[in-house]
Chains A and B, each alone.
Chain A
Amino acid sequence: MSAAVASRSAVPAPPSEPVVLDARLPGATSLAEAWQNRKQELQLVTRARRRGQTVLVVGSGLAGAAAAATLSELGYRVICLCFQDSPRRAHSVAAQGGINACKNYQNDGDSVERLFKDTLKGGDYRSREANVYRLAELSVAIIDQCVAQGVPFAREYAGHLSNRSFGGALVSRTFYARGLTGQQLLLGAYQALSKEVASGGVQLLARHEVLELILHDGRARGVVARDLVTGEQKALIAEAVVLATGGYANVFHHSTNAMGSNATAIVRAYEQGAAFANPSFVQFHPTCVPPGGQPEGKLLLMSEALRNDGRVWVPRAPGDARRPEQIPEAERDYYLERLYPRYGNLSPRDVASRAAKARCDQGCGVGPTGRGVYLDLCLAVRREGVGKLEERYGNVLEMYRRATGEDPLETPMRIYPGAHYSMGGLWVDYELMSTVPGLFVIGEANFSDHGANRLGASALLQGLSDGYFILPLTASSYLASHAFGALPASASGVRDALDRARQRTERLLSVRGQRGALDFHAELGALLWDGCGLCRNAAGLEHALGRVRQLRDAFWQELRVPGAAGELNQELERAGRVADFLELGELMCRDALAREESAGCHFREEHQTAAGEGQRDDAHFAHVSAWFHTGRGTAPRLVREPLGFQSVVLAERNYR
């Protein structure tokens, strides 16, 4: 590994030298003009020169597919990788609800300014104003783009686009296609990508997983990828690298993410000098189907809308094993209605999630694992009849029936919070470039726009705005402003990266212990859930930190990976991903420990109001925490990027 350190770029600096993060923010201009002005400053080059430059895009979800297609349209040579067998399967496909855009088609007073402020407030003022403003600004063009691609958004009878309302907003600005919004947006981007693949502009490498970043002269110049069918590990050279690899909620093992969603590319990049921002910011969703003893951690997400008609409760007595119908009214604890009389069952996501966990920790949880609470629609059935509820929630109820074999209109549903979305990610500047020159990070993989908590229906928005409208311009400018020499396969940066990837794969296969990677993943998830999950405190985090380290040691001594490197080997893929989750788990605990406040998803028990709500500390923590790797076995270095606000005076979060 020492060769890698030697070829690393200027970051991380030696301990004596302070690192200053330059976010390349717009400066003193008004937020409304910032992006327009920046676009004028970005460098351009002729189409002829673009043809000679290669951009490598890792991931094919909304951000990756949009970026790859658009860069190819601009004339660059693009290589797009995905681990799935087809780019159309990236996890963006599973988003149901919708995409926010301030079109103001409802004439209800929406504007760029309002979407911007809702997103900033939703993020509990831990995001960058200029980024969030740009996100709101670009939302309008995204809807136009998607409609032109043939995305069948819901329409009104006269044929105009329809909207629905979503949490955290007083206006109706969410565009949707039934419960298939993510799928339809992804197909739009996938089809645009397919057009460019067919024209020869994009080389598509499906079933390829990135294992290492290639650095040369301090710049990102490619990746080492493993062909998941043959096992061949190859160096792919480019002039710039774009990571669009999605989120890392799977670090918790139980999450709503897809089975394959992983953090390998961003952890590899972190180890090569890319700062990791706010790693502990992960959003939990209160209405997942609880785990039922399955070996895999996949959680099914139920629409939150169910909380409009359902009452949440647990048995009053711990360990009450009776069926829910047998528990009389007086022996039920409708704890959300009891603790939060004003919001009741519609308490915010994080509040509802923490309350459910607290009941289960007291032994009042229900279901075979004791990790679940009831969401009871039976009262609504008595009030309104089965027909009305079927009409309102038909497909969600059907999903639940399929998953559990129980009818939620006869037996209360069981729900439990699950890790859902990572606001944290690799640090990027205003132009979406990481601290490694030439390494761009877009979509959920970066940290940029959602602060400490993401607003519903804004994930799709961010992926597409990064991919279609920001990255193609900023990466172009980067490519225009530098001269790149040819990078031969014999260069040390290429050989080092290939060596690191090969050594790592060999190491995973050579432990030859007795425990499968899944076992370690489940244990990691459980300990992060306890120590660095919905509720955090210093002692719990210290404990989790120690246990993650022990678990990582055990992993490298007891792991068993069957088979060989040169074949389709799903256990080897899993082991590599779990190894990286172990690194990330440690970083998350450190980040949560260092942030001595509560903000959005990050709830430190030491920092709450008398009413049990999180308490921000703007005087000390209005910053982005960016972590730099300093080598294996040494503590990472924390660098703070201060957050300034010109649009708002910071106010305490208040739901009352």
Chain B
Amino acid sequence: MKLLLNIWRQPSASAPGRFVRYTVTGIPPSHSLLEALDVLNQNLLAAGETPVAFESDCREGICGACGVVVGGRAHGGRALTTSCELRVSAFADGAELTIEPFRAKAFPVLRDLVVDRSALDRVIGAGGYVSVRTGSAPEANVTPIAKPIVEQALDAAACIGCGACVAACPNASAALFVGAKITHLALLPQGRVERKSRAAALVAAADREGFGACTAHGECQAACPKGIELGVITRMNRELLHAAE
């Protein structure tokens, strides 16, 4: 296959960036888009040019490291698909694609397609945990948890922290990410004790980091490669209300 790629090139956080057009040919249709970028980078390297910096690690959709905007859609806009799982066969032979980094005030570009998402870690640090010391846990089966509840908690806990929800949102809100963590822990008895302080702290931290507010566009849900649904934002708001009581 052949692809025409308009890729955002930016040498460093402080330098200005621009789109550069590349033609990549001979890509097997079974390749992922990131593997097409690997091919491009090998070509650039052979030509003495600087390869395109982009992130990926597990290449199986679970680590959350990869994330680019393809044709204006975070992770390329295919349902339940991370950038590393996106096949080039999803596009027409000879298609022209724009590839740019996840853009948000809270995600400064570091180089080319690489952004700084450490704001998400700081949000979790504000209270996205159960405060239990190593060694102080009771016997695991002491507290039964209804199967549907634990499954619902896992649906939310499956978030991979990629930041696509932020990149897809017109407000660059992290509400889906924050709501997922609040939901995961609020549903479980182990997380209930701290639920009020957690909800307030996580939302405040997200505001502090420069993420926008949620105005219920729903773009985040469409972009989420793990199928996390808007219901987690509803729960976040409910938990916030409880916190205010």
Asked if A and B are interacting partners, one says yes
Residues of A near B133 (CB, < 8 A) are 73
Residues of A near B151 (CB, < 8 A) are 152
4 additional A-B pairs beyond A160-B144, A296-B38, beta carbons within 8 Å, are A89-B58, A259-B56, A296-B35, A568-B53
Which listed segment binds A: B25-33, B168-176, B213-221, B229-237?
B25-33
Q: Which of B39, B58, B122, B184 is the most central at the interface, judged by chain A CB atoms within 10 Å of its CB?
A: B58
Contact call B129/A194, Cβ cutoff below 8 A: yes
Which among A183, A204, A293, A468 is the interface contact of B62 at CB below 8 angstroms?
A183
What is the size, in residues, of chain B's interface with A at 8 Å between Cβ atoms? Answer: 76
**A405 on interface, CB distance cutoff 8 Å:** yes
Contact call A155/B145, Cβ cutoff below 8 A: yes
Instruction: Report 12 cross-chain contacts, Cβ distance below 8 Å, ordered by A residue.
Output: A89-B64, A93-B64, A141-B137, A152-B157, A191-B124, A194-B128, A204-B121, A292-B30, A292-B31, A368-B28, A516-B46, A563-B50
Digitize A188-207: 1 where CB-to-B-CB distance is under 8 Å, 0 elsewhere. Answer: 00111011011000001010
> Given the complex of chains A and B, what is the CA–CA distance between A568 and B9 in angstroms?
13
Contact call B35/A84, Cβ cutoff below 8 A: no
Digitize B30-60: 1 where CB-to-A-CB distance is under 8 Å, 0 elsewhere. Answer: 1100010011011001101111010111111
Contact call B141/A177, Cβ cutoff below 8 A: no
Interface residues of A in 470-522 (CB under 8 A from B): 472, 516, 518
Digitize B95-109: 1 where CB-to-A-CB distance is under 8 Å, 0 elsewhere. Answer: 000000000000000
Chain B: minimal CB distance from A14 (Å): 43
**A144 on interface, CB distance cutoff 8 Å:** yes
**B4 on interface, CB distance cutoff 8 Å:** no
Chain A: minimal CB distance from B28 (Å): 6
> Given the complex of chains A and B, what is the CA–CA distance between A301 and B62 in angstroms?
13
Chain A: minimal CB distance from B154 (Å): 4
Residues of A near B191 (CB, < 8 A) are 150
Digitize B124-151: 1 where CB-to-A-CB distance is under 8 Å, 0 elsewhere. Answer: 1110111111111111110111110011
Contact call A150/B184, Cβ cutoff below 8 A: yes
Contact call A177/B154, Cβ cutoff below 8 A: yes
Chain B: minimal CB distance from A480 (Å): 18
**A37 on interface, CB distance cutoff 8 Å:** no
> Given the complex of chains A and B, what is the CA–CA distance between A560 and B49 in angstroms?
11
Digitize A133-175: 1 where CB-to-B-CB distance is under 8 Å, 0 elsewhere. Answer: 0000000010111111110111111111100000000000000
Contact call B64/A88, Cβ cutoff below 8 A: yes
**A66 on interface, CB distance cutoff 8 Å:** yes
Residues of A near B143 (CB, < 8 A) are 147
User: Which residue numbers of B lie inside 8 Å of A, CB to CB?
Assistant: 11-12, 28-31, 35, 38-39, 41-42, 45-46, 48-51, 53, 55-60, 62-65, 81, 85, 87, 89, 110-111, 114, 116-118, 120-122, 124-126, 128-141, 143-147, 150-151, 153-154, 157-158, 160-161, 184-185, 188, 190-191
**A381 on interface, CB distance cutoff 8 Å:** no
Closest to B63 in A: A89
**A31 on interface, CB distance cutoff 8 Å:** no
Closest to B144 in A: A159
Closest to A187 in B: B157
Contact call B141/A86, Cβ cutoff below 8 A: no
Digitize A359-372: 1 where CB-to-B-CB distance is under 8 Å, 0 elsewhere. Answer: 00000000010000
Residues of B near A472 (CB, < 8 A) are 134
Contact call A180/B158, Cβ cutoff below 8 A: yes
Contact call A94/B60, Cβ cutoff below 8 A: yes
Q: Which of B11, B35, B63 is the most central at the interface, judged by chain A CB atoms within 10 Å of its CB?
A: B63
> Given the complex of chains A and B, what is the CA–CA distance between A86 and B138 in angstroms?
30
> Given the complex of chains A and B, what is the CA–CA distance between A303 and B126 in angstroms?
37
Which among B48, B130, B135 is the interface contact of A562 at CB below 8 angstroms?
B48
> Given the complex of chains A and B, what is the CA–CA distance between A518 and B44 in angstroms?
13
Contact call B38/A105, Cβ cutoff below 8 A: no
Contact call A405/B121, Cβ cutoff below 8 A: no
Chain B: minimal CB distance from A160 (Å): 5
Contact call B63/A91, Cβ cutoff below 8 A: yes
A-B complex: 9 closest residue pairs judged by Cβ atoms: A159-B144, A198-B125, A148-B137, A191-B129, A144-B137, A152-B154, A147-B140, A258-B57, A70-B134
Contact call B140/A86, Cβ cutoff below 8 A: no
Closest to A567 in B: B12
Contact call B85/A402, Cβ cutoff below 8 A: yes
**A643 on interface, CB distance cutoff 8 Å:** no
Contact call A144/B30, Cβ cutoff below 8 A: no
Known: A73-B133, A258-B63, A295-B39. A150 touches B185 (CB 8 A): yes
**A298 on interface, CB distance cutoff 8 Å:** yes
Residues of A near B81 (CB, < 8 A) are 402
Chain B: minimal CB distance from A365 (Å): 17
Contact call A89/B57, Cβ cutoff below 8 A: yes
Contact call B141/A294, Cβ cutoff below 8 A: no
Which among B57, B64, B154, B158 is the interface contact of A91 at CB below 8 angstroms?
B57
Contact call B118/A206, Cβ cutoff below 8 A: yes
Residues of B near A195 (CB, < 8 A) are 125, 129, 131
Residues of B near A562 (CB, < 8 A) are 45, 48-51
Interface residues of A in 362-419 (CB under 8 A from B): 368, 399, 402-405
Digitize A82-97: 1 where CB-to-B-CB distance is under 8 Å, 0 elsewhere. Answer: 0011111101011000
Contact call B42/A518, Cβ cutoff below 8 A: yes
> Given the complex of chains A and B, what is the CA–CA distance between A403 and B55 in angstroms?
19
Contact call B62/A84, Cβ cutoff below 8 A: no
Residues of A near B120 (CB, < 8 A) are 86
Contact call A84/B30, Cβ cutoff below 8 A: no
**A571 on interface, CB distance cutoff 8 Å:** yes
**A184 on interface, CB distance cutoff 8 Å:** yes
Interface residues of A in 188-234 (CB under 8 A from B): 190-192, 194-195, 197-198, 204, 206, 229
**A432 on interface, CB distance cutoff 8 Å:** no
Chain A: minimal CB distance from B150 (Å): 5
Contact call B110/A184, Cβ cutoff below 8 A: no
> Given the complex of chains A and B, what is the CA–CA distance between A420 and B233 in angstroms?
38
Contact call B64/A159, Cβ cutoff below 8 A: no
Interface residues of A in 265-301 (CB under 8 A from B): 292-296, 298, 300-301
**A77 on interface, CB distance cutoff 8 Å:** no
Contact call B85/A94, Cβ cutoff below 8 A: no
Closest to A87 in B: B121
Residues of B near A155 (CB, < 8 A) are 144-147, 150
> Given the complex of chains A and B, what is the CA–CA distance between A405 and B35 in angstroms?
15
Digitize A239-282: 1 where CB-to-B-CB distance is under 8 Å, 0 elsewhere. Answer: 00000000000000000001110000000000000000000000
Closest to A260 in B: B57
Known: A197-B125, A258-B58, A293-B28. A149 touches B87 (CB 8 A): no
